[in-house]
Amino acid sequence: MTRDPAPLTPAPSLPRRRLLQGAALSALAVPLASPAAGAPAFVRSGRPLLTHGVQAGDVRDGRAVLWSRADRPSRLVAEISRDSSFRRYRTVRGPVVTPRTDLTGEIDLRGLPSGTDLHYRIRAVDLHDPRRSGPAEVGRLRTAPGRRDDVRFLWSGDIAGQGWGVNPDLGGFRIADAMRARDADFFLCSGDNVYADGPVVESVALPDGSTWRNVTTEAKSKVAETLEEFRGQYQYNLMADNWRAFLAETAQVSQWDDHEVTNNWYPGEILDDVRYSEKRVDVLAARAHRAFHDYVPVADISPDPDGRVYRVIHHGPLLDLFVLDMRTYKDPNTANGEPGRAGRDGGVLGRRQTRWLLDELSRSRATWKVIAADLPLGLVVPDGTAAQEGIAQGDPGAPLGREIDVADVLTGLQRLGIRNHVWLTADVHYTAAHHYSPDRATYDDFDPFWEFVSGPLNAGAFGPNALDATFGPVADFVAAPPAPNASPAQGFQFFGEVGIDAGTQQLTVTLRDVDGAAIYERTLDPARR
């Protein structure tokens, strides 16, 4: 039955810096407005323009977030349609963007129909004359299914690192075209959305005698320290034409890791790095987090009172996605061999986040619970010669240091009877499939599970790293470069794909190379309750 469209109303007040406005969209079949023949095009001199494309994020049951940026204070307005030609559409009035958020803004969509491809276009409207607006930028998102439908999403991380930036010869990022061709429901970025500590130069000589070319900008010419420089990292990545096109067509779910701030950082750190005049990492992190929220569409759904971004995305009856924050609770990078909790707040997850994760997992009724971690569980990732950046530290005995956090979660999953959990991560700049089993482990109070690693997207390729035996992992597959810091031109760039079959409820993980070719596949059967 067709219903009259509900009136547009502002969203409730939310504890975020920005005003988010939305409207019910459940009656998209009925137009709120249609362009009349001969209507003014609203394109005049001095009209406000969008500068960095459009994006959608955190698509979940009935909800999504749209994002864009204007070139001056103006109002963002979105038009939403089931039809790519926008013969019928609904208008959603968004926020006024100001220099306070670097002229970026988000529009909170609600009441979305389930399992539907929706087309949207955003334009910037003059604050003094609503008849004056710039041309619209067009995007697309796929809403969460309301019934048992197939699911397919991508994941990876590590964008524009180690001096390998936006290459105009490749349309921006070489791997973006292959990811765009997969037509996924959404993309999970497992961290390192930008490399704020990774300046680029105009050209880099490659081992085969050819030259890698980078687009350069002032902000990307040094390490980021000011808020404006951190914002410039996100602006830089959006100069990649094919990456901007991918994000316009594929909604994202993003978490952060270290390079959004600086390499291997932890709270309270004081840098010993001559490139930085601001040595206090907490100051840099506050600016970096603000830039992240300005430029990445993240829904205000985290329960954390201090601005962390752990959250759960409900994506229909087959999938719940648990997005972790393993950076801002992190203990200092020592040898990571502490035997107990004395005085610790959890090492890598924190007690509050650990409780939240186990509570949300126990409430989940989705067939599959995918846990998005920004650090791998069993790979040894050193920080210099004596310190450890990662969770594992190479000691094959009982859990120590940050491993204690992981042990708490794994044992909690077992005791709560939670099945069908899969872990996804990036971070180490190669791709792998790891199986963890108590039969091989020193610590055996957990059920077997899989962890899949994928990346980088456009950064130096490294690895492989050693596995720590505490939780009994083995590598079922590894693809890594023959030498460290291999450029994207050499091909060792990777993304992963997760598919859930509606009929069998099997989950299949496919690891793909820079051209999108499948190089590994593993199908998992769901455990029955």
* pLDDT 10s digits, 219-276: 999 999 999 999 999 999 999 999 999 999 999 999 999 999 999 999 999 999 999 9
Q: Which two tokens stand for residue 445?
A: 């109070």
Are 92 and 77 in contact, with CB atoms under 8 Å apart? yes
Give residue 50's domain range: 1-144
Please state the length of the chain.
Answer: 529
Same domain, 140 and 174: no
Residue 102 lies in a domain: yes
Pairing of strands 104-110, 311-314: unpaired
Residues whose CB falls within 8 Å of the CB of residue 209, separated by 6 or more in sequence, listed in order: none
Residue 18 lies in a domain: yes
Same domain, 418 and 499: yes
Same domain, 313 and 410: yes
The predicted structure's pLDDT at residue 18: 36
d(CA 89, CA 85): 9
Q: Which two tokens stand for residue 414?
A: 């077992």
Same domain, 123 and 173: no
Question: Is residue 253 classed as helix, strand or coil in its secondary structure?
Answer: strand
Confidence of residue 33 (pLDDT cuts 50, 70, 90): very low
Structural domains counted in the chain: 2
**360-405: pLDDT as tens digits:** 999 999 999 999 999 999 999 999 989 999 999 999 999 999 999 9
Cα 228 from chain centroid (whole Å): 21
Residue 529 lies in a domain: no
The overall average pLDDT reported for the chain is 91
Q: How many CB atoms are closer than 10 A to CB 481?
A: 19
Residue 169 lies in a domain: yes
Same domain, 171 and 285: yes
Question: Is residue 522 classed as helix, strand or coil in its secondary structure?
Answer: strand
In the block, which residue shows the tokens 């203990």? Answer: 331
What's the CATH code of the domain at 35?
A: 2.60.40.380
Same domain, 170 and 81: no
Same domain, 178 and 92: no
**307-341: pLDDT as tens digits:** 899 999 999 999 999 999 999 999 999 999 988 87
Same domain, 134 and 199: no
Question: Is residue 407 classed as helix, strand or coil in its secondary structure?
Answer: helix
**170-222: pLDDT as tens digits:** 999 999 999 999 999 999 999 999 999 999 999 999 999 999 999 999 999 99
d(CA 2, CA 89): 15
